[in-house]
Amino acid sequence: MAAAAPNPSAFGGRTSVRVVVIGDAGTGKSSLITSAATENFAESASRVVPPTHLPADYYPDRVPLTVIDTSSSSPEDKSKTFAECQNADAIVLTYACDRPSTLDRLSTYWLPELRRLEIKVPVIVVGCKLDLRDDQQMRLEQAMSPIMQQFLEIETCVVCSSLRQIQVVEVFYYAQKAVLHPTAPLFDQETQSLKPRCIRALKRIFILCDTNRDGALTLSDSELNDFQVKCFSASLQPTDIVRIKKVVQENMPDGVNENGLTLTGFIFLHVLFIEKGRLETIWTVLRKFGYDIDIEFRDNLLPSTVKRTSEQSVELTNEDVEFLEEDWVMVTLSNSGDHSS
């Protein structure tokens, strides 16, 4: 059975992702693109390959990618390169694992230039030619930590080998993931905490899932399982629930009590997803409960303006009343001083 096509509204209306590959000359940009598209290493890759399309079924989200190659051999080439970057959804910035100078250029030229031009899209830093790296050069990756701290636009770093087909396909998966499941709306890199809008959304979701209305403001084991089924169409085994609560309690003692998972624990789990790079997990939750890429309700879930004549009246359904009651509980919770983050 063929997989269903993606719902464009789930990804902010996106039906494709445009990735631009940049970096110093000779760092392996063209070979990287060709190897990803053909799953073979081209002995004589073109100097600049034409726009390359990776089809919708290439990655699990089923959103096609267009990959744009660039050159930096001349000032004119660089001007064209940054013009392409202006239209990019994500940027793959390359260096060569066997040439330390190309790694230095990331922080001395490429990343500052992207900032100067106010190009604000996720950046995937890629070390190409992994097969040429020796033991001494392996320590080069240690230099990435301060670079990532300085340039928070870097989404992730990866090394690959087009010749050996090592992590080539993953490069563009990370680029697509950074666009479809972005970090920025969820998490503040500078403060290392969830953003307020994300916290508000998770609080609402927690309230909606606390269906027994026992006043305990916790998710029981059955409610936690219902949440899992709603979001991921799969049940949790009893051992899974025990393991989840153990992880929460070890890291956040007030995240679990005798009644189940507390709001603090629920939010902690989603912070953990982000820390482990599982952004698609938290975005699946948010989208299942009606949020778009800006963590606002999708337009198609909001009622249109109701027009009525003087003889007509409008009444709330039971579902509307329940929704308002849930929001009232949320306000009460907020006013009680709970500032989980």
CA nearest 223: which of 199, 270, 259? 259
Do 106 and 248 belong to one domain? Answer: no
Do 242 and 167 belong to one domain? Answer: no
Do 140 and 86 belong to one domain? Answer: yes
Do 63 and 110 belong to one domain? Answer: yes
Do 220 and 279 belong to one domain? Answer: yes
Per-residue pLDDT at 315: 56
Flag whether 34 is in a domain.
yes
Q: Which residue has the tokens 């990804």?
A: 11
Do 169 and 268 belong to one domain? Answer: no
Other Cβ atoms less than 10 A from the Cβ of 186: the count is 23
Flag whether 185 is in a domain.
no
Do 225 and 170 belong to one domain? Answer: no
Domain final residue pick, 156, 180, 204: 180
Domain final residue pick, 150, 180, 210: 180
Q: For 189-234, what is each residue's pLDDT tens digit?
A: 888 899 999 999 999 999 999 998 766 789 999 999 999 999 999 9
Per-residue pLDDT at 123: 97
| Cα Rg of the chain (Å, integer) | 24
Per-residue pLDDT at 301: 56
Flag whether 169 is in a domain.
yes
Do 110 and 225 belong to one domain? Answer: no
* Domain extent for 120: 8-180
Do 222 and 314 belong to one domain? Answer: yes
Which CATH number does the domain housing residue 171 bear?
A: 3.40.50.300
- Number of structural domains in the chain: 2
Per-residue pLDDT of the chain (341 residues; tens, 9 = 90+): 333 444 544 565 678 999 999 999 999 999 999 999 998 887 766 689 999 999 999 998 899 999 999 998 888 888 999 999 999 999 999 999 989 899 999 999 999 999 999 999 999 999 999 988 766 555 656 778 889 889 999 999 999 999 999 999 999 999 999 999 999 999 998 888 999 999 999 999 999 999 987 667 899 999 999 999 999 999 999 999 999 999 999 999 999 999 999 999 999 999 999 988 899 999 999 999 999 988 987 765 555 555 555 555 555 565 554 554 455 444 444 444 444 44
CA–CA separation, 33 vs 21, rounded Å?
Answer: 8
Q: For 147-160, what is each residue's pLDDT tens digit?
A: 988 999 999 999 99
Residue 48 CB burial class (10 angstroms; 0-12, 13-18, ≥19): middle
Q: Which residue has the tokens 């403001």?
A: 217
Do 66 and 17 belong to one domain? Answer: yes
Which CATH number does the domain housing residue 314 bear?
A: 1.10.238.10
Per-residue pLDDT at 12: 59
Do 167 and 225 belong to one domain? Answer: no
* Edge-to-edge strand ranges of the sheet holding 154-159: 52-54, 65-68, 17-23, 90-96, 123-128, 154-159
Do 156 and 205 belong to one domain? Answer: no
Q: Do the beta carbons of residue 175 and residue 124 sit within 8 Å? A: yes
